[in-house]
Chain A
Amino acid sequence: MKILMNVPETVVADALRGMAAAHPELTVDVENRVIVRRDAPVEGKVALVSGGGSGHEPLHGGFVGPGMLSAACPGEVFTSPVPDQMVRAAAAVDSGAGVLFVVKNYTGDVLNFDMAAELAEDEGIQIAKVLVNDDVAVTDSLYTAGRRGTGATLFVEKIAGAAADEGQPLERVEAIARQVNEVSRSFGVALSACTTPAKGSPTFDLPPGELELGIGIHGEPGRERRAMMTSREIADFAVNAVLEDLSPRNPVLVLVNGMGATPLLELYGFNAEVQRVLAERGVAVARTLVGNYVTSLDMAGASVTLCQVDEELLRLWDAPVRTPGLRWGM
């Protein structure tokens, strides 16, 4: 597999240098691996810090900016960042109003953010945490590490970020973030495995003519393999899997998310099928976002995330945002 890089050891640092050059509105500390909005700390406002392994871009670094994250900590590819990065990020963005850590539910992320929260609190920074675990493909939470955090991370970061931007206090921003996670569910499929720079070959073997249902975002195989399905069949399967677990009474936000190597042409076609299933199931759609937002390197495939919104969550979703990855209203 060919990868556009110099050597595997520097892919994250190289990407950060490139990000710094493209986005002067961000402060990118390449050595310490922290991306911070340039105007941080914003006086009197709660700050949001997230982070995770690299390879999911634009998540999380591409969501740093007014109306969303205050800072992000990129780890090695598919590897949680270390506590030192998170503490540094929290110290850089805390205005005294406190910091919310947005943590995807993976063992590594949880352990490192827990350690970081303890260390940051020792430094006098007030920390709250929200765990994102929206992936319905993980059915047996008792005998696994629990549901994974995937597409809903974007909804949590955008909506809680807007609440923080409005000047809401830490407890409130945390409660909103938690609410968004609780009303969001995702399901993903892979048409191909992904290739990590360090390994240089696909992380699992997926023969032509087959697909993986219920994948995560780290190149791990899914729970089930089937003969290749049409976009229509995949949409039925994915949306029904989500709706088995979420019975929306209110309208939903829809995220049709590409895993990295699936063209927008295919994603829009898939979105048409997703909207058809939702209409058949009587689910009202408030807003739809289609694109590559929570990716898995060069994996082909897509995920569907639904987030049930009340008036307040919809207002916060519509609020202005200005980040490299998501931008409207300002």
Chain B
Amino acid sequence: MLDADFFRRWMTVTAASVDREAERLTALDSPIGDADHGSNLQRGFTAVTAALEKEAPDTPGAILILAGRQLISTVGGASGPLYGTLLRRTGKALGDAAEVDRAQLADALRAGVDAVMTLGGAAPGDKTMIDALVPAVDALGESFGAARNAAEHGALATIPLQARKGRASYLGERSIGHQDPGATSSALLIAGLAEAADE
């Protein structure tokens, strides 16, 4: 079963990997965006870990709702509302249970991803974070490792796609050949789940 400690760990290890990978995320955001994805998420997840320490929410749902709110209040851009909504809706779907199993988490995360698609209007294949998240949620029923692999594969699979949403879409065909930064950071978030489960 996955308890509050697991979800806190998920956020902490994700914050650490965003820190480590910030420069790479920003570099990916340079040819098809505006070169700030890494620094924006870094600011957001730093605020998330600080808030979790300060407010110490004690259920999985409350942890993700607080994390989502922090991202909305600190990240800005499109990533703030999108990542914030992902975590908030996932947290809301978890309710106030003290522990959840992997299948319940997969269902909740699916609700979160659906909310992101509604908010941003993106569908699979538009070269966005959705391209990593949808396969990850599909694979989460199997195992955390399968979800991580599916997300990483989904992020890589954005390379040949032409962007239809977000700032990269203005480039038209010139967005082809670049890995989407949002899909890449989404894969980090899912990898964080697997890492939290391993510990």
Contact = CB atoms under 8 A, between A and B. Distances in A.
Note whether A and B form a binding pair: yes
Interface of A: 8, 53, 75-84, 106-108, 111-112, 115, 137-138, 140, 143-145, 148, 196, 198-199, 203-204, 216, 218-221, 223
A76 B39 CA distance: 10
B33 A220 contact: yes
B79 interface: yes
A303 B195 CA distance: 48
B165 A145 contact: yes
B76 A204 contact: no
A219 B174 CA distance: 15
A204 B175 CA distance: 13
Contacts of B17: none
Contact of B76 (A112, A148, A198): A112
Interface of B: 26, 30-36, 39-40, 43, 72-82, 119-120, 162-172, 174
Given A84-B73, A107-B120, A203 B78 contact: no
A77 B167 CA distance: 15
Contact of A221 (B76, B79, B164, B174): B174
B196 to A, nearest CB: 27
Given A79-B40, A115-B72, A199-B35, A108 B170 contact: no
Contacts of A223: 170-172, 174
A198 B26 contact: yes
A5 to B, nearest CB: 14
A111 B172 contact: no
**Main SS class of interface, A:** loop
A196 B40 CA distance: 13
Nearest to B71: A82
Nearest to A140: B172
The 9 closest A-B pairs by CB, nearest first: A144-B169, A108-B77, A111-B81, A108-B78, A107-B78, A79-B77, A199-B35, A79-B76, A218-B34
B36 A196 contact: yes
B35 A198 contact: yes
B172 A145 contact: no
A148 B36 contact: no
B119 A111 contact: yes
A115 B81 contact: yes
B30 A145 contact: no
Contacts of A216: 167, 170
Given A78-B36, A79-B40, A140-B172, A218 B167 contact: yes
Contacts of B166: 107, 145
Given A76-B36, A223-B174, 18 more contacts: A76-B43, A78-B34, A79-B77, A81-B76, A106-B78, A107-B78, A115-B81, A140-B172, A144-B164, A144-B169, A145-B165, A196-B35, A199-B26, A199-B30, A218-B34, A218-B167, A220-B33, A223-B171
Contacts of A198: 26, 35-36, 39
A82 B169 contact: no
6 contacts: A76-B43, A82-B72, A107-B165, A198-B39, A199-B30, A204-B30
B83 to A, nearest CB: 11
Contacts of B31: 204, 221
Nearest to A84: B73
A219 B76 contact: no
B181 to A, nearest CB: 13
